[in-house]
C-alpha cells in the first residue's frame, strides 16, 4: 500500500511568487493536515481538512490557503512568498488517532 505522497519533493521559488504543494493521503484516510517545519524546530500546524471541509487552522497569515478534493487529496497554496517561508512542508493523513506523514516538500525561497 502506498503511504502519504507529496509533490514536488524539492522546490526553489523567488520572493513574491506563489507555490502550490500537493498531497495524496493513504487510501481510505479522509483527514489531511499540513505542517510547516523550519530547521531545528518541530512541525507547526497549518491546516486540517476532513471530508473536504476545513476543520482547523493554525496561526499562519492569509497568504496560506488549502483545499481538499473529492478524492481526499489536498493542495497547500502560499502566495507572496517570503524568505521566512523556506521550510519543510509536511502533509499527514489519518483515519483515527495516528497521523502518517509524507516525505515532505522542501521549499526554498530566494
What is the x/- site pattern for another protein, positions 46-65, by CB under 8 A? --x-x----xx---------
DSSP state of 63: T
**Range in contact with another protein (rule: CB under 8 A) among 13-21, 60-68, 69-77, 100-108:** 100-108
Chain residues 71-90 in contact with another protein, contact rule CB under 8 A? 90
Mapped onto helix, strand or coil, the DSSP state of residue 35 is: strand
Interface pick for another protein out of 2, 53, 96, 110 (rule CB under 8 A): 96
What is the size of the binding site for another protein (CB under 8 A)?
27
Interface pick for another protein out of 11, 22, 44, 75 (rule CB under 8 A): 44
| Binding interface with another protein (CB under 8 A) | 31-33, 35, 40-45, 48, 50, 55-56, 90, 92-94, 96-104
Amino acid at each position: 500500500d502506498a503511504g502519504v505522497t507529496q509533490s514536488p519533493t524539492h522546490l526553489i521559488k523567488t520572493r513574491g511568487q506563489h507555490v502550490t504543494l500537493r498531497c495524496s493521503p493513504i487510501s481510505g484516510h479522509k483527514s489531511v493536515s499540513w505542517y510547516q517545519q523550519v530547521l531545528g524546530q518541530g512541525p507547526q500546524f497549518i491546516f486540517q481538512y476532513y471530508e473536504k471541509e476545513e476543520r482547523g487552522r493554525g496561526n499562519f497569515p492569509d497568504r496560506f490557503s488549502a483545499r481538499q478534493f473529492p478524492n481526499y487529496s489536498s493542495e497547500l497554496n502560499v502566495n507572496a512568498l517570503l524568505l521566512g517561508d523556506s521550510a519543510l512542508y509536511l502533509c499527514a493523513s489519518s483515519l483515527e488517532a495516528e497521523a502518517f506523514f509524507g516525505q515532505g516538500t522542501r521549499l526554498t525561497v530566494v
